[in-house]
Amino acid sequence: LWMQLDEHERGFRDSPLVVREEALTRYVKEVLCKAVGEDRCNATRVYVVQDKNFNASMAPNGLMIVHTGLLARVYSEAELATVLGHEFAHFELRHTLNGFKKQRTGTDILAWLSLSGAALGQSTAAAQMAVVTGVFSFNRDQEREADFLAAAYIRASSYPLRASIVWKRLMEEEDALREERKQRKIRRAVPGATDTHPTNLQRFAYFSELEAQPGALDGDDGASAYREATARVLPTLFHSLVKSNEFAGVDYVIQNRGKTLGWDGLLLYARGELYRLRGNPRDLVTARQFYEEAIATGGAPAEAWRGAGLTAMRGGDNAAGRTALTEYLTRMPTASDAAAMKILLEN
């Protein structure tokens, strides 16, 4: 099994899903090691993957996958450490391996590996992700056990325990999305019969109790370090989220990042993209405002001028639109859409 998982990892690391940001990947592993200890985490190989979901996973051979959607939704090293510690706890408690051994025969393993090989040969990134993260699942008792071991890791580290706020924000994000879709808000205290995880409300409750213990909140949460480490790659962290069909939830996430860690040109640009892609008439006006605010910070990406130009032209302000698009092409003359932008300017 180990040999086959290692072979699978060799294929996975070349997946288009994997984010090629060595500094970010190295930083995520450093946070994990601070949380669980250098001696424990040395054999772990971390991959950051482009995916909108709040998720991470770890295979029995030490392969850890961290989604960009997770990194976009946490705002300190302490928050990230708790989630990574949870996945590492599954690994250390052998939940994955024991479940695999218990539920699958040798024939099943061979069949799964055959399917995984086929999936890696497919063109869709979703198939590759399903193979790596979708094979192993845990029951609610294991999830709770991993949560409590993760809390113990954090208590033994230099980080304060900052977990309840993460689950509180996930509930609020879900509420925002339900309100947008005019769905009834549901806050379940007890998991459903088919649920494999404790509810977000349960996790908020028991982490709040753990955080109330003496000394649990002592230490530096690493919020400043987290902001610095992730600020440069915000377009990468928010790429999948912005393109998802979850406007209100994503807007909630972006606003919370801004309120918690501060607004900058890259985050304002991401919010402009969110509104532009939804594309309602009023959204285009709002998007233009965010692009212009991003540009005013002095730290906007070149694409902010493209967004400002496109939304200005859609609103009938052709002069401002042409000026912004010209600036975009000056800053990115070899952009993949440069030819299309030049056509707009010629018309």
Check: CB of residue 166 under 8 Å from CB of residue 225.
Answer: no
pLDDT at 61: 85
Check: CB of residue 51 under 8 Å from CB of residue 17.
Answer: yes
pLDDT at 95: 63
Residue range 92-125, pLDDT digits in tens: 887 666 655 655 554 454 454 554 454 444 444 5
Residue range 318-331, pLDDT digits in tens: 999 999 999 999 99
The token pair at 163 is 């977990």
Distance CA 82, CA 166 (A): 10
Check: CB of residue 32 under 8 Å from CB of residue 46.
Answer: yes
Distances (CA, A) of 154 to 16, 219, 325: 33, 10, 49
**DSSP secondary structure letters along 185-199:** P---SS--TT--S--
Residue range 229-269, pLDDT digits in tens: 999 999 999 999 999 989 999 999 999 999 999 999 999 99
Closest CA to 79 of 237, 200, 220: 220
Distance CA 50, CA 56 (A): 12
Distance CA 79, CA 257 (A): 13
pLDDT at 53: 95
For the chain, give the mean pLDDT.
Answer: 87
Q: Mean pLDDT in each 10-residue stretch from start to end of the chain (347 residues)?
A: 76 87 97 95 92 92 93 98 95 71 52 48 48 54 91 97 96 94 67 63 95 96 98 96 96 98 97 96 96 97 97 95 96 95 90
Q: In 3-state terms, the chain is what percent helix, strand and coil (to 5)?
A: 65, 5, 30
Residues in the chain: 347
Pairing of strands 56-58, 63-67: antiparallel
Give this prediction's pTM: 0.85
Q: Decide: helix, strand or coil at residue 15.
A: coil
